[in-house]
Chain A
Amino acid sequence: MTGLIYKEYKQNRILLLLTAAAAFAGIILPITLTAQIMGTGIKEILLRQEEQLINGIKLISLLVAYLASGFMQGLIFRSDNRRIYSEFIASTPDGIKGYMRIKYELTFMMSMLMLISCNIFDNLLALISQITTDDCYSCSGVVMILFYVQLLLRSLEIPFTVRFGIKQGSIIKSIIMIVLMLILTVVVLTDPSGIMTHIADCIAGNDEILITGTPKLLMGVFPVVSFMSFCLSYKVSCRLYMKGAQRNEI
C-alpha cells in the first residue's frame, strides 16, 4: 500500500502544487488585480460590499479555480490505463480495491487541499487588510458548498472514466455537466420560493442568509449526500475497473 501511495505522490505532486496555486489564483489574484485597476487598497475593495461587480468577480474567479482543480483531479485517473498494468494491479495483494482506494483518497485529498488553501488565503486577505472576515465578503461559505459540489461531480465522473476510458468518460462527464447546468438554469429562471433571488442578494451583500424550512434542510442534507455518493462511487469503480481495463488494447 505504501508503495502505491508513493507512486501516486510521485506521479501527481505537480497536480497537488497546481491545486494550491489554483486556490491562490482564485482568491488573492482577482482582489489584488481589481485593487490595482481601480487604484484603491485591498481593504477598500473587500469592504465595498455593495459593489455587485466586485463580488461577482470574486465568485466567478473562485468558480474558475474550482473548475481548474476539478480538471486536475480528473488527470489522476488518466495515467495507468494500460491493460497489462491493470492486470498487474489486480494480481497485487492490495488488488483493485487497494489501487482504487488510493486514487479516491488522492482525489479527496486534492479537494481538501483546495478547501484548506481557499480558507487560508481568504483569512490571509482579511488579515493583511486588518478587517474581520465578518466585515467583508468572505468566500468560506461558498468554498464549502463548492467542495461538496466537486465531490459530487467526481463521484459521478470517475466510474464512467474507469469503465469507458478517458474519451468516453469525458463525453459522459460533459453530458452530466450540461444536464446539471440546464437544471440550474431552470431553477434560476423559475426560482421556486425565491431562493435564488435571496442567494443573489446574499452574494451581493444586501441581505443575510435567512433560508428556512425545506430548502434549508436540503442544503443541510446536500453535504451528507455528496460524501455518501463519493463513497458509493468508489464501490462502483472497483466493480467496473476490470471491465474498463479489457477495453484497452495493450
Chain B
Amino acid sequence: MRSENKADIRRILIFISLSFGLFWIPELILDNTVGFDEWHDGQYGMISAYEMLVPAIANALTRLITKEGWGDSKLHFHLKGNVRYYVLGFLQPIAAGIMAAVTMTVFHGHPDAGELVDRLTSADDIAFLLTNMIAPIFFMLFLAFGEEFGWRGYLYPKLEKAFGTVGSVVIGGTIWGLWHTPLIIHGYNFGSDYAGAPYTGIILMCINCIFIGAILTWLTKKTDSIYPASLMHASNNMQTLNIGLLLVMGVSDDVLSKITPFQGNVILIIQEVILGTVFMILLMNGRKKAEKHISKKAVGNVR
C-alpha cells in the first residue's frame, strides 16, 4: 500500500513537471521572441490555442514513462443513462452567465421586461449566439479535451487517492490555476490594470480553478468519463456565458463600457464560487455515501 502511494506521488510529480514544462518553456520563449500579443492574437493566434493539449500529452507521456498502462483513462463516452450530465456540462457556463447578468441588473440597472423580450426575440441576437457560441463547440471540445484528459483524467484521481476528494479539488485547482500563470502575467484573463497585478490575478485564477474544478470533478465522477467535463470546459471557453448578457436589463452602455476585464471576471468568479460550493458539497456527500456503502459491505462479508 505504501509503495503504491509512493508510486502515485512519483507519477503526480512527473505529470506536473511535464505539463508545466511543456507549456511554460515554449510559452516563455515565444513571449520573449515572437511577442505575447503576436503569439496569442496575431500571426500565431490559432496555433497557440493548441497549448491546451499539453496536459493530455503530459498524461500520455507519464503513463508511458511510468509504464502505468491505460486503465482508468476515462476515455469511454458512457452515454447510456448519462446524457443529462453532458447537457448539464454544456449548460453550466450559461447558468453562471445568467447569474452574472442578474447580479449586474440588481447592482447597475433595473428589470425591464420590454427590453428583455426585444433581445430574446431578436433574430440577429439569437443567430449571433448560435453561430459564434454553439456552432464551433465541437472544435473547442477537442481543445478542452486536451486539458480535461490531463487534469480530470489523470491528476485529480491520483491526488484523490493521496489527499481525499476535497483535498484533490483544492490542490488540483491550485495547480491548474498556477499552470495559467504565464498567461495571467501578460494580462490574458484579467488585463493588467488592477491592484496587485499580476499576483491578485494568479490568486483569483486559482480560486476560480478550485471551484470550477469541483464541478468538473463531479461530472467526471458521475459519468466516469472526461467528455462531460470537456463539454463544460469547451462551453466555458466558447464564452457561452455571454448568453447571459441577453438578460442584462436596464444597464446603460456607459456602465457596461466601464467594466474592466478584471471586474467582469471577478463578477463571474463569484458565480463560479457559489455554484462550485454546491458541487463541492455534492462531492463530499457522494464520498460519504460511498464510504458507508463500503463499510456496510465489509460488515456483511464478516457476518
Contact = CB atoms under 8 A, between A and B. Distances in A.
B35 interface: no
Interface in A110-158: 112, 115-116, 119-120, 123, 126-127, 130-133, 144, 147-148
B134 interface: yes
A39 interface: no
B264 interface: no
Interface in B132-170: 134-136, 138-139, 142
Interface centre among A101, A220, A224 (most CB of B within 10 A): A220
A132 to B, nearest CB: 5
Contacts, number: 67
B267 interface: no
A2 interface: yes
B131 interface: yes
Contact of A127 (B44, B80, B128, B139): B44
A105 interface: yes
Contact of B139 (A1, A101, A119, A130): A119
Nearest to B83: A231
B130 A223 contact: yes
Interface centre among A130, A223, A224 (most CB of B within 10 A): A223
Contacts of A119: 46, 139
A219 B126 CA distance: 11
A123 B130 contact: no
A132 B45 contact: yes
Interface residues of A, number: 32
Chain B's interface: helix, strand, loop or mixed, by majority?
helix
Nearest to A101: B79
Nearest to A221: B130
Nearest to B132: A220
Nearest to A102: B77
B76 A223 contact: no
Contacts of B130: 217, 220-221, 223-224
Interface centre among B44, B47, B50, B138 (most CB of A within 10 A): B138
B129 interface: yes
Nearest to B124: A212
A213 B128 CA distance: 10
A132 B134 contact: no
A144 B139 CA distance: 9
B60 to A, nearest CB: 17
Contacts of B76: 1-2, 5
A223 B134 contact: yes
Contacts of A216: 123-124, 127-128, 131
A224 B50 CA distance: 26
* Range of interface residues on B (Cβ < 8 Å): 20 to 34
B123 A116 contact: no
A190 B136 CA distance: 30
B123 A217 contact: yes
B43 interface: yes
B242 to A, nearest CB: 14
Nearest to A127: B47
A120 B50 CA distance: 9
Contact of A132 (B42, B50, B131, B136): B42
Interface centre among A116, A126, A147, A217 (most CB of B within 10 A): A217
Contacts of B128: 216, 220
A153 B241 CA distance: 31
Contacts of B135: 144, 148, 220, 223
20 contacts: A1-B76, A97-B80, A98-B80, A112-B138, A116-B139, A119-B46, A127-B43, A144-B135, A148-B135, A213-B124, A216-B127, A217-B123, A217-B126, A217-B127, A217-B130, A219-B127, A220-B127, A220-B134, A223-B130, A223-B134
Interface of B: 42-47, 50, 76-77, 79-80, 123-124, 126-131, 134-136, 138-139, 142
Given A147-B138, A217-B127, A217-B130, 20 more contacts: A2-B76, A101-B79, A105-B77, A115-B138, A115-B139, A116-B139, A119-B139, A123-B46, A126-B43, A131-B43, A144-B136, A213-B124, A216-B124, A216-B128, A216-B131, A217-B126, A219-B131, A220-B129, A220-B130, A220-B134
Interface of A: 1-2, 5, 97-98, 101, 105, 112, 115-116, 119-120, 123, 126-127, 130-133, 144, 147-148, 212-214, 216-217, 219-221, 223-224
